Amino acid sequence: MSKPARTGRDAAAEISAIIIDRLEKGVPPWTRPWRTSGSGGRPLRHCGTPYTGINNLLLWALGDMHGYRSRYWMTYRQASELGAQVRRGEQGALSVYYSSFKKTETDAASGEAVERSIRFLRHYIVFNADQIDGLPGYYYPPEVPATPLSPSLRQAAIDSFFAAIPADVRHGGNGAFYSPTFDYIQMPKRSSFISMDHYASVRVHETGHWTGHGDRLARTFGKRFGDKAYAFEELVAEITAGLVCAELGLPNELHDSHASYVGHWLGILKADKTAIIHAASKAEQAFVYLTAFGEVGQAGSAAASELAAAA
C-alpha cells in the first residue's frame, strides 16, 4: 500500500459532502453506477481486489459524477510501476481506511494504568484508470452498446444466492418488509413485479434488514418511521442491497417505498459527518455475512463474525 497522505484534509467531511450532494441530486451512489458505467460491479484496486466499506460508495459516486467507465482505481505510484502516467491536471480521489494506536491512561476509579486502542481515519489519493494513459488494456472497459440483460441470464445466480440464506420468507399481500419481532421477510407474490430482477432487488433490501437481527449482526432497529435509528437502518439495508445487486448484476433502484427516507438520510448525514462511513461499514458486514452462505462471495462465516465483533 502506498504511503497515506498526511495533509490536514477532513476526509470524513469531504466524503459526507459528496454523498449528500448525490442524494440531493436524486442519485444515491449505491443504486446507479453499475447500470451506467462501462464495466459495472464494485470498484477495484490496481491488483483487482474489490474496495470495501465507504470506498465503494465514494468511488461509485465520483465515477458517476465524472463519467468514468473503468472499475479500476490506483495511486500515482502504482500507475507509474505499471509503466503508465496519470494525465497532467487530473484530480485524484480519496481512499480511506481506519488505523489505530495504543494509548495508556490511568483509570479514575482504580488508579491502575489501562491501555486503550484508539481508531482514526487515514486516507491516500487514487486515480481512475480513465485518468491514466498507458495502462494494460484490461484496465479499460470495451465500448459495449447498452442493452438490457435478460433475467434468465442471471436467474441461476439469483436462485443460488437466495437458496443459501436461511431466512423465513413469506409471499402475499402488497407490501415488502422485514419483521424484526417475528424474524421473517414478507414479500408480494413474484407475479406482482414487472421482472424477476426487480423482485430480487427488493428481496435483497429486506434480506439486508434480516442480517441485523439480534442473533446475527445485532444492529439497533428504530421503533417508528422517522426516528434516527429507523432511518439509519434503512440506509444500511439500501447500501447492502446495492452491494449485493452489484455482485449479482441486478438493477437496484430507489423504489417509491424507499424514496421517503432520502430526507431522513440527508438529515443524519448533515448532522454527523461520520454517519455515512458507519453505515457503509455496517452494510459491508451485512454483505460479507450474506455472501458467506453461498458462492457469490468467497468470504467465510468466520470473516463475518470477525467483522461483527469489530463493529
Rounded CA-CA distance 231/5 in Å is 33
Among 232, 257, 252, which Cα is nearest to 241's?
A: 252
Position 9 confidence tier, pLDDT thresholds 50, 70, 90 = confident
- Provide the number of structural domains found in the chain: 2
- Co-location of 137 and 185 in the same domain: no
- Among the residue ranges 15-24, 48-57, 198-207, the one predicted with the least confidence is 15-24
- Mean pLDDT rounded to a whole number for the chain: 81
- Co-location of 160 and 141 in the same domain: no
- Co-location of 228 and 117 in the same domain: no
- Co-location of 181 and 142 in the same domain: no
Three cell numbers, residue 170: 413469506
- Co-location of 74 and 190 in the same domain: no
DSSP annotation of 46 reads: T
- Co-location of 123 and 255 in the same domain: no
Residue tagged 497515506 (cell numbers): 4
Among 144, 164, 145, which Cα is nearest to 156's?
A: 164
pLDDT of residue 297: 43
Domain boundary among 95, 122, 147: 147
pLDDT of residue 26: 64
Domain limits for position 64:
1-147
Domain boundary among 116, 147, 178: 147
pTM for this entry: 0.72
- Co-location of 192 and 282 in the same domain: yes
Domain boundary among 147, 173, 195: 147
